[in-house]
Structure 1
Amino acid sequence: MADASPRTDTSTDDTDEKNQRFERGQTNAIVASDSSDRSKDKTDQKTLRRLAQNREAARKSRLRKKAYVQQLESSRLKLTQLEQELQRARQQGIFISSSGDQSHSMSGNGALAFDVEYARWLEEHNRQINELRAAVNSHAGMWKTPAERCFLWIGGFRSSELLKLLANQLEPLTEQQFMGIHNLQQSSQQAEDALSQGMEALQQSLAETLTNGSPGPSGSSGNVANYMGQMAMAMGKLGTLEGFVRQADNLRQQTLQQMHRILTTRQSARALLAINDYFSRLRALSSLWLARPRE
């Protein structure tokens, strides 16, 4: 019996150790199970949020699509209504006649007013194109009317004379502006006089060259060569004549630029309107002259 007692104590210790290991294993299993459940719960929550966001985005997309379709339908109805109104207007004759008078009022309709104005512009455009085509086909070669040609100076208007006319149209002018326009008129006139003298001398020289360059009656080779030489000289003088025209154009351009520097913006606008009215009256005068009764 003394020998059996120690073995019994050892067996009891082994049993307790096994029980402790079993309990630790169960505890670890429970902890692992709880961790797995929490991770699964987090995943489920993310999935639910994502699904909710997708549903909200889909709902907003459906609303935008519905609003867009409604807008298209409204635009289609408005377009149909305008087309119907335009068709009724055409049937009732709400257009500008050939004389430019309106047969009916536009009743405040912007679309009809635009259509009428565009038709008038198109008619005027076609008229001007036809006039241009007729002028080109007629080989007239002269764009200035007879009354305008009376005031023609080396291919255009005389700047100094135009400044005299504008001075009365632009009042009131400051003393500085008045002196500036006066000085500009004087300098333009001096340049015009110099160009006119050079032009007259060139025209006289060209006339003499053409007169002396005629071939003799015998038609000899010497006379023909002399004639060709004289014509070559005349061609060179025509080139110089072209240079005078370019100088006159530059003088007109410089005069207008200087005038713009002297005047205010409003005065410059009034000056341009006055110039346009001046040439419009010249063209009207020419039209009256051409339409006068002939004996």
Structure 2
Amino acid sequence: MGNLIRVLTRDLDSSGCNFFLDFEHAQPSEAERATFEKVKQVLEEGQEILEELQMYKGAGEEIRQAIQRPTVERLQQRAWAAVLPLVTKLHTFYDFSQKLESALCLLLDVFACAEAPPTQQLEQKQALAQQFAHILHFTLRFDELKMTTPAIQNDFSYYRRTISRMKINKLTGESQNEVDNELANRMSLFYACSTPMLKTLSDATDRFVSENPDVPLENTTDCLRTMASVCKVMLETPEYRSRFSSEETVLFCLRVMVGVIILFDHVHPHGAFIKTSNIDIKGCIRLLKEQSPNSVEGLLNALRYTTKHLNDETTPKQIKNMLQPN
């Protein structure tokens, strides 16, 4: 995903710090290995999830014919047969969101519960920092694909209408539905969100903070703030950016930067957009807007619609204006 990158950033105590953040070759120490292996399994499954989502075609034609000719039983059965395996996939995606949440909490526990400052944490535990970045990269990539695949909600809406009608008519069929009404309700809420994976991680970070009152909130927010700064410096410094092997590495860093900003905005009492957050939001937005619009529109939308504090009165008007849709 990326080359060995030398990162120049500044810690929260304003002391300079040089270190390498390796997105490709970082290896875990023995102390990190147990956590690393658990998260690795989730990330590997995540690649399969993305491949499945990229190939998702939907059952639009079968559904359209079934709706247009509701009395033709053959068309109803054909649509039902087409939708069932797709709902199974959607169920798999939903279940994976819970695994991703658990993986994120494992890493937050490592970084937020440590006594060392966040820059030192990232430098010394690069393999886990790499995994944290890949979780965010997966999350933003999944949500980008989901937003450009309207068939997902169309298929699931048809499924829910059909099982409701089957229940009313007491026609349960020969096989049991894998997704019952209770699960279907939870999945419906998940897919109704424009960025479901990002909301899952935001909610998980909120819960991590609330369920660990003995861990100072600053530990979590400082970690997120530092990761955002690291990504920004990598992107805006020609010396470092020239080492990227491809534009995909640029997108990787952009997704991670946006992801940690959103998580920060959800857990910090006053959010990421105020000056005292110590995140250069204006610089981050400018970086996004310097890229090809087609590649970053989903990331800009994530900042517009999935952050918690953008519309607060304390958010500078310039930032709100910068994030206005064109």
Same fold by TM-score, threshold 0.5 exceeded?
Answer: no
Higher relative contact order (CA 8 A, sep 6+): 2
TM norm structure 2: 0.28
Higher helix share: 1
Higher strand share: 2
